[in-house]
Amino acid sequence: MKVASLFLALALSFTGASTFAAEQPNVLFIAMDDLNDWIGCMGGHPQTITPNLDRLAASGILFTNAHCTAPACNPSRSAIFSGRAPNQSGMYDNRQQMRELLPDATLLPQRFRDHGYHASGSGKMLHYFIDAPSWDDYFPSPATENPIPDSFDPPNRPVSLPRGGRWQYIDTDWAALDVSDEEFGGDWLVTKWISERLQEPHEKPFFLACGIYRPHEPWFVPKKYFEPFPLESIQLPLGYKENDLDDVPPAGVRGARNRYFEHIQSEGQWRQGIQAYLASIHFADAMLGRVLDALQSGPHAKTTIVVLWSDHGWQLGEKEHWQKYTGWRGVTRVPLIVRVPASISPALPDGTAAGETCDEPANLLSLYPTLLELCGLPPQADNDGPSLVPLLKDPQQSQPGASWTHPCITFLAEPGSYSISGRSHRYIHYADGGEELYDIVNDPFEWDNLVADGSSNEELVRLRSLAPKQFAERVAPSVASLIALPWQSLQNENDAIPRSKPDGNPFDIYLINQRTTAVEVFKIDPDGKRQPFGQVQAGQQKPQRTRPGEVWMIADPDSKQELGYFQVDDRTARAIIPASSN
């Protein structure tokens, strides 16, 4: 009997069966789009309603000082899924194409597939594409490369915020919709599909990705999510302060004043926008609740690691800014919650402590190596971030010898521009040399730039020393990857060509002539007069500097017949002149 007991003990010690499950853990990877710290457990806005985010945080570890790798969807998500930092990959902004810069990168779901996992997902995980070869299954169909199912769209837009000009993103708008969650579609369909997967038995361990699109614009959600936020009770953002740009360097001021906040104020829509953002968060939280309920009631609750993150935050008037893209904390700081059940991870056999918080600076770039370590998979050699497992083991780094020294860097769109987040201070550096320094313990909203304050020199020197040493060149997206401007054909001589209304910053469009003969290019000025801009030869393309709202007319150089025109929108694009003018 004693020999048998000894044999059993030795067997358990070698297999590890007494510490963690023999099967590999599952992963539920949840993204929320454009979500800042306006959730209850982070205290970003006193009126927010997020019971499901709060209950997830209460069951795992909440990182209160987590930051995105880039303050825009595309570079942030590309960094998370590739494990590559923007200064290494060259992926800096939304206009670039991930697979053009990282054609051979092994994305996170593929890495799990390579080690026996079934990888599936639904909703926006990458920037408006799926990357079908990296997944076993996706909804909508991976063949479409469109990750977002249809949602209810008001027939007459804009609904609330008039478009200030073609410089304005067309989805910057909001409305309470008289539809049910199911009629709304979108995130309801995503969470339905994910919930069904969580209720099913699985032969393999799974990596399941859930992309909840709200609170991304447009802030259209069912009206019941607006009802808890009466307009007359709406409070301004806690971080708003008048004249908050007085001590910000010129590059920061230019980034802040992108015209959106000024336009929203002029239309009397500031509080309406805040209301709609809160309603969209409330809706997104309800969709999260469906997923958490399905996990809890299904067969995988005790064997599934849950990670929830947002790709970046959002400013709603702080520092006169509306949108994302800046290096300030309102945009870089994001919700990050990790829950690991006990006895499933060889790297964390006790699991995560419920309700713990971690104040150390953590970056979303670390999600790739963290999940590999938690699931016992080999590290990916080209990952640029450190694993967060040491912080999951000891969130406050209180154990002897614990020291989290990894810099937490957010890369802005221009190489050489970035912010560094520490435990007590944050530093912003612009490519032209402008700097900002904030004491986030005493000044969490970053109102007072301390660069010129001698009392903070030591911290300024320390954060400067953590600056990236190299920056990959920003590579422009290929012309073929750009959106196409609608071709407006002129069917007869009575068709009117609109006048240009130039408004916004310049960029290039690419005139592509598919005709068998050359065409002549004219810009229609604000007075309706034609200004010649040369020709585009047959089968050729030509870059043309332009601005939002300008109109470019195409004519036959011999007959002088007007063939059609393009009206420039808010971004660089292809302008394809068809083989036939019809």
3-class SS letters over 226-261: CCCCCHHHCCCCCCCCCCCCCCCCHHHHHHHCCCHH
Q: How many CA atoms lie within 13 A of 535 on its CB side?
A: 11
| Distances in whole angstroms, Cα of residue 493 to Cα of each of 497, 517, 564, 566 | 10, 21, 11, 17
Helices (H), 307-444: 329-332, 367-374, 389-393
Strands 336-339 and 304-310: antiparallel
Nearest to 386 by CA among 408, 356, 402, 401: 408
Give the orientation angle of helix 51-59 with respect to helix 270-297, to 10 degrees: 50
Are residues 488 and 564 in contact, defined by beta-carbon separation less than 8 angstroms? yes
Nearest to 458 by CA among 479, 437, 431: 437
Q: Is 406 a catalytic residue?
A: no
Q: Is 408 a catalytic residue?
A: no
Its sign, for the CA torsion 460, 465, 466, 472, is positive
| Distances in whole angstroms, Cα of residue 240 to Cα of each of 243, 261, 317, 447 | 10, 12, 6, 9
Measured CA to CA, the distance from residue 418 to residue 77 in angstroms comes to 17
Helices (H), 298-388: 329-332, 367-374
Measured CA to CA, the distance from residue 1 to residue 14 in angstroms comes to 20
Phi, psi of 419 (to 5 degrees): -125, 150
Catalytic entry in 45, 118, 127, 321: 127
Are residues 338 and 307 in contact, defined by beta-carbon separation less than 8 angstroms? yes
Catalytic entry in 73, 210, 358, 375: 73
| DSSP for residue 8 | H
Expressed in angstroms, the distance from the first to the final Cα of the chain is 91
Measured CA to CA, the distance from residue 334 to residue 32 in angstroms comes to 10
Contacts of residues 533-536 at CB distance under 8 Å and 24 or more positions apart, as own/partner, are 536/511, 536/512, 536/577
Q: Which residues are catalytic?
A: 73, 127
